[in-house]
Structure 1
Amino acid sequence: MPQAVQSAPRQAAPRTAPQRDMVHELVEIADYISHLRQEIAALRANEITRDRIPMAHEELGSVLEATAGATNTIMASAEAMLGLPDDANYRANVEEKIYEIFEACAFQDITGQRIGKVVEALRHLELRLVRFASAVRARDEAGLDAAEAERKARAEKLILNGPALKGPETSQDDIDALFA
């Protein structure tokens, strides 16, 4: 039987420096694409568009309806109080309208819960977008990356935050003196 001739393993020609550089760059690009795919998957865009955004829309619609309904009830009750006859039942009639106003003011609790859900949905969206923007080193139109844009937004928020919710109040005289 003839013996099979074994050939020596074929040795690849050594790579030149430009070839090594090109291979290294291609590996980096492949790693970047793989990382980008993971970050896109982490966005869970389908969940956002299927669940969170429609829920936020519905909750805000409900807030608008509840607020409008409560406002109408309060206005109608107050108007009815103004037209009550000044007779022996006046106090009982006024109390009845005041209780209607109190009941209408209960909308605040429900609207607060609904707005809380919307804020939570927006926070999830913001976190996912910030993570993605950081992962792809995205820059906004001003050339800021995600971290720089967040710092700038926080600084603006601290300056332009409107009336203070809690804390020391500034009197109107002090404000007038400031602009005088």
Structure 2
Amino acid sequence: MPTAVRRQAAPRFREPVPTALVAELIEIADYITHMREAIAALRPNEMSRARIPMAHEELGSVVAATAGATNTIMEAAEAMLGLPDGPGYRAGVEARINTIFEACAFQDITGQRIAKVVEALQLFEGRLGRFVGAVKARDAADIDPAEQARRDRAQDLLLNGPQAVTETPSQDDIDALFA
């Protein structure tokens, strides 16, 4: 037999480990496991590598399509204004109007692209909501003061710009302002 290895006895606790401490450690381990599962369910790599870049690209395409269509419409309208009176006037106007109608088709394509972005954002929102529930995140009222200041400043600078349909003043309200 080989030389005997001297074994040291594992240190023993003089007092038994309180069961409350063991239960708390088990609860922490379960919480960590749950957190790992919740983070994995978010599929953050998919969101950062596929969904968010797609949303960015689609919104960029919407901006480009809208700008291109606007320029086409403006050019056609300017060309109509420059048409000389005479026998070819009606045909010239009709040709420019057809160009305007074609340019207005951008709305369908931009609508489809925006729908893709909305779908991606809804997916992200759903996953984030499940994650927030899983980690028992703090209430939204606990917003970072710097973030709240940024939001307040953005709201102050908005000057009642684009509004949701439900928040848009009626024509009667606007007329009352000028009365």
CA deviation map 1:32-90 (0-9, x unaligned):
11111100000100000110011111111111111011000000000000000101000
Kindly provide the amino acid, as one letter, of the partner of residue 95 in structure 2.
E
Residue 171 of structure 1: how far off its partner (Å)? 3.2
Kindly provide the amino acid, as one letter, of the partner of residue 122 in structure 1.
L
Residue of structure 2 in register with 1:171 after alignment:
171
User: 1:130/1:179 Cα in 2 relative to 1: closer, same or farther (>3 Å)?
Assistant: farther
Relative to structure 2, which stretch is displaced further, 100-109 or 58-67? 58-67
Residues 1-180 of structure 1: pairs in structure 2 closer than 5 A: 19-140=18-139, 142-143=141-142, 162-164=163-165, 170-172=170-172, 174-175=173-174, 177=176
Residue of structure 2 in register with 1:156 after alignment:
none
Counterparts of 1:178 and 1:73 in 2: how far apart (Å)? Answer: 36
Kindly provide the amino acid, as one letter, of the partner of residue 41 in structure 2.
A
TM-score (norm 1): 0.73
Relative to structure 2, which stretch is displaced further, 132-141 or 115-124? 132-141
Kindly provide the amino acid, as one letter, of the partner of residue 84 in structure 1.
L
Residue of structure 2 in register with 1:154 after alignment:
none
The CA RMSD over aligned residues, in Å, is: 2.9
- Identity value in percent: 65
Describe the SS at the equivalent of 2:18: helix
Specify every segment of 5 or more residues in structure 2 that has no aligned partner in the other structure, as ranges. Answer: 1-12, 144-159
User: 1:49/1:98 Cα in 2 relative to 1: closer, same or farther (>3 Å)?
Assistant: same
Counterparts of 2:83 and 2:106 in 1: how far apart (Å)? Answer: 26
TM-score (norm 2): 0.74
Kindly provide the amino acid, as one letter, of the partner of residue 93 in structure 1.
G
Runs ≥4 in structure 1, deviation > 6 angstroms? Answer: none
Counterparts of 1:127 and 1:113 in 2: how far apart (Å)? Answer: 21
Describe the SS at the equivalent of 2:86: coil
Counterparts of 1:143 and 1:123 in 2: how far apart (Å)? Answer: 23
CA deviation map 1:9-43 (0-9, x unaligned):
xxxx9x85x61000100110111111111000001
Residue 176 of structure 1: how far off its partner (Å)? 5.2
Aligned residues: 149
